[in-house]
Structure 1
Amino acid sequence: MSSTRIDTDLVRNLPKAVLHDHLDGGLRPATVVELAREVGHTLPTTDPDELAAWYYEAANSGDLVRYIATFEHTLAVMQTREGLLRTAEEYVLDLAADGVVYAEVRYAPELNTNGGLTMREVVETVQEGLAAGMAKAAAAGTPVRVGTLLCGMRMFDRVQEAAELAVAYRDAGVVGFDIAGAEDGFPPADHLAAFELLRRESVPFTIHAGEAHGLPSIHQALQVCGAQRIGHGVRITEDIPDLAAGKLGRLASWVRDRRIALEMCPTSNLQTGCATSIAEHPITALKDLGFRVTLNTDNRLVSGTTMTREMSLLVEQAGWTVEDLRTVTVNAVKSAFIPFDERKALIEEVVLPGYAAAL
């Protein structure tokens, strides 16, 4: 076990990788206020600090549906080209400032079409904003590689269209696909045709599963739809009756033995009622059992968090070491939806040297 003293400054300077982070859940409060004023949208408050507090308090309901409802205000300011360009660029710069070296940002283009943009225009505009952010971050000496996951909203009827866009833009910054939204009552197999298209076209995808619904959702995502990763997956523990003993059921064994990454989001999981505390969040037990767990923010504004904060909470409340933080970072890069040579170079040239300097 490492004897390295871990403080916030050390954690902030560590290289980080995030696979599960929503664009519309990570806006700067001041940006929401300014853009809302421009488009005439009414907010709960026009004070940025008060707005940040409102988001955090509203999200702490213990209910996924109410958690998702907080996105009304961020989405309202992401319906124009100008709004999308700004939020995408700032998204990258905020990650770079947090020490993130690789990220996959996800969003559902269909949710940004209320102002007249087509889904294709949304995708192209977001990619333009992300590219501008990456260029600025690199120029500032804090390079970050950001790939895009396009989402289909599982409770609506445009999932197939979003999947087709993922295929169309896979050589233009889009690295994969996901379905998001209310999980309970909207099983992954409802969109099997979309996943079959993605498999035929060799486009990787993850699926939100095992958050608001349990093992059947995870099983269907993996064994019916063919997901390569699981978004959240916290309820895989329902197939591990005794976490301390580590006796795995068949589905849990499948996930661990085939190195299927779990995109775990501790703070978000507390807010939606999937976990009771950071100390008891399953990410620690699953890590110790050899699962390929990754650490993520989910929605930085809504959850009032950053990767530095998520790491620090696990250090302070779950006893994590620098080696543990390195493990989940390497896990994330290994499971990224980018080519093997890029993943290998990122691990060997950026991640491992960054952690070696901290040990």
Structure 2
Amino acid sequence: MPTPLSPEALRRAPKVVLHDHLDGGLRPQTVIELAESSGHQGLPTTDPVELGNWFRDNANSGSLVRYLEGFAHTCGVMQDEAALVRVASEAAQDLAADGVVYAEIRYAPELFTEKGLSLEQAVEAVQEGFRQGEAASGNRIKVGTLLCAMRQNDGWQRIADLVVKYRDQGVVGFDIAGPELGFPADRELPAFEYLREQNAHFTIHAGEADGPESIWRAVQHCGAERLGHGVRIAEDIKDDQVGHLAAYVRDRRIALEMCPTSNIQTGAVASLAEHPIKRLADLGFRVTVNTDNRLMSDCSMSGEFGVVVDQFGFGWDDLHRFTVDAADALFLPLDERKALIENVINPGYADLKA
């Protein structure tokens, strides 16, 4: 009979992460130690348990703006190469310990240049950290990098240039992050046109703090291959009648990078019971489960699996499907995605379901 969906079994399940922010996943103890060594001021506490609770409580405000305030501290301690190497290495190790076999981790290089690092130095330090973390985890995980432009800032092209420059060194794609409302995805269209010309991949945060109009711009104007969150696509579905935009997203198999705990914290949905993940899955959308910010949301991939299992009654077949859909949406060559699914994911779930 199938293995019960216990916390331990969920940790053993092979997982794929499409949406995880590097600067939102630090260990509290690491924040404290890096603040001390770098001279960063203003931490609310130097007790790691209390600091973790502070990040979580601040994130539970129901506001994306408040949710983002904790990043002043995490980014504040990530301003030199040694710190970036450490944080990236620990991120890979922590995800591997939670059963993640492949993760695409994203960050905005411009956030790490306040003390003189160049964009290139920031990227190279993070890449070194990921490689160290993979090795330290016994190569049980592979990490790909997404570079983010901040949508409230100008200069998206320079980040797109970095994606192309470093794509043979583990950078697999581009994203825009930051406040969605008021900063549409098509504000700097030439960056996306350049990425397409260069055969580069990109996802776009859309449908989190703004509604279907934001998703439409991301998909139809920019050509997004995936949607960061995308939770508000449900507003284009009435009584199971799928609207034209929602049908386009579904029928083109555009993956939804959903982050259940974070979606509640930022106010994208009012409660877990109202989260549309099951409805969208039942209607055939390419749904995936992700962490977003492990420190801010006090979450893990196995924990997020547990959340949706408890709330919606998902079983091993559902989690298997979400994981395969995530793997198939990775910004990797087809043969690598097939090998990951056939050699790692399918056998892992077969054992759990046997």
TM-score by length of 2: 0.98
Structure 1 residue 3: deviation in Å?
A: 6.0
Amino acid at match of 1:275: V
2:16: which partner in 1? 17
Q: Which residue of 2 aligns with 1:236?
A: 233
* Alpha-carbon contact 1:188-1:220 (below 8 Å) kept: yes
Please give the alpha-carbon distance, in whole angstroms, between the structure 2 residues aligned to 1:358 and 1:206.
31
2:187 counterpart of 1:190? yes
Matched residue type, 2:19: H
Q: Which amino acid aligns with 1:232?
A: H
Offset, 1:44 = 0.6
Distance in 2 separating the partners of 1:241 and 1:62: 25
**Residue 224 of structure 2 corresponds to residue 222 of structure 1:** no
Instruction: Describe how 1:244-259 pairs up with structure 2 within 5 A.
Output: 246-259=240-253
Structure 1 partner of 2:294: 300
The 5-angstrom pairing of residues 48-197 of structure 1 reads 48-138=48-138, 143-197=140-194
Structure 1 position 69, deviation (Å): 1.5
Aligned to 1:269: 263
Tell me the CA shift for residue 315 of structure 1.
1.1
> Residues of 1 paired with 2:47 and 2:342: CA distance?
44
| Cα deviation digits, residues 220-271 of structure 1 (max 9, x gap) | 00000011000000000111012xxx21000000011110000000000000
List gaps (5 residues or longer) in structure 2: none
The 2-side partners of 1:165 and 1:4 are apart by: 44
Provide Cα deviations, 1:90-119, integer angstroms capped at 9, x if missing partner.
010000000000100000000000111000
Q: Which runs of 5+ in 1 are unaligned?
A: none
What is the RMSD computed on CA atoms of the aligned residues?
A: 1.0
- Structure 2 Cα separation of the partners of residues 206 and 342 of structure 1: 19
Contact 1:16 1:99 in 2 (8 A): yes
Deviates more, 1:272-281 or 1:225-234: 272-281
Matches within 5 A, 1:343-358: 343-358=337-352
1:327 aligned to 321, 333, 339, which one?
321
Shift of 1:5: 2.1
| 1:203 aligns with one of 200, 220, 241 | 200
Q: Which amino acid aligns with 1:272?
A: T
The 8 Å contact of residues 110 and 158 in structure 1, kept in 2 or not, is answered as: no
Contact 1:20 1:104 in 2 (8 A): yes
Q: Please give the per-residue CA displacement for 1:153-208, whole angstroms capped at 9, x wherever unaligned.
A: 00011211111100111111100000000000000110101101100001010000
Among the aligned pairs, what percent are the same residue?
59
Tell me, yes or no, if the aligned pair for 2:202 and 2:226 is still in contact at 8 Å.
Answer: yes
Q: Give the distance between the partners of 2:207 and 2:246, measured in 1 at CA.
A: 12
Contact 1:22/1:299 (8 A) holds in 2: yes
**What secondary structure does 1:102 align onto?**
strand
Instruction: Provide, for residues 67-102 of structure 1, a one-character-per-residue CA deviation record: whole Å limited to 9, x for no partner.
Output: 111100000110001100100000100000000001
Q: Distance in 2 between matches of 1:108 and 1:254?
A: 29
Report the alpha carbon displacement of residue 4 of structure 1 after superposing the two structures with TM.
Answer: 4.5
Paired with 1:316 and 1:92, the residues of 2 have a C-alpha distance of: 27
Partner AA of 1:40 in structure 2: G
Task: Tell me if structure 1 keeps the 8 A contact 2:2–2:352.
Answer: no
Moved more, 275-284 or 20-29: 275-284
- Give structure 1 regions of 4+ aligned residues with deviation exceeding 4 angstroms: none
Contact 1:280 1:318 in 2 (8 A): no
Contact kept, 8 Å, 2:52 with 2:295, in 1: the verdict is yes
Helix, strand or coil for the counterpart of 2:271? coil
Contact 1:295 / 1:328 at 8 angstroms: preserved in 2?
Answer: yes
Secondary structure at the aligned position of 1:171 is classed as helix
TM-score norm. by structure 1 comes to 0.97
> Partner amino acid for 1:257?
D
Counterpart amino acid of residue 265 in structure 2: Q
3-state DSSP class of the match of 2:167? coil
Report how far residue 290 of structure 1 moved: 0.7
CA shift for structure 1 position 137: 1.2
The equivalent residue for 1:41 is 40
- Distance, in Å, in 2 between the alignment partners of 1:210 and 1:160 is 23
Residues of 2 paired with 1:66 and 1:277: CA distance?
18
Three-state SS of the structure 1 residue aligned to 2:18 is: strand
Q: Shift of the alpha carbon at 1:277? A: 2.5
Aligned residues: 352
2:313 is aligned with 1:314: no
AA matched with 2:135: A
Question: How far apart, in 2, do the equivalents of 1:201 and 1:6 lie?
Answer: 43
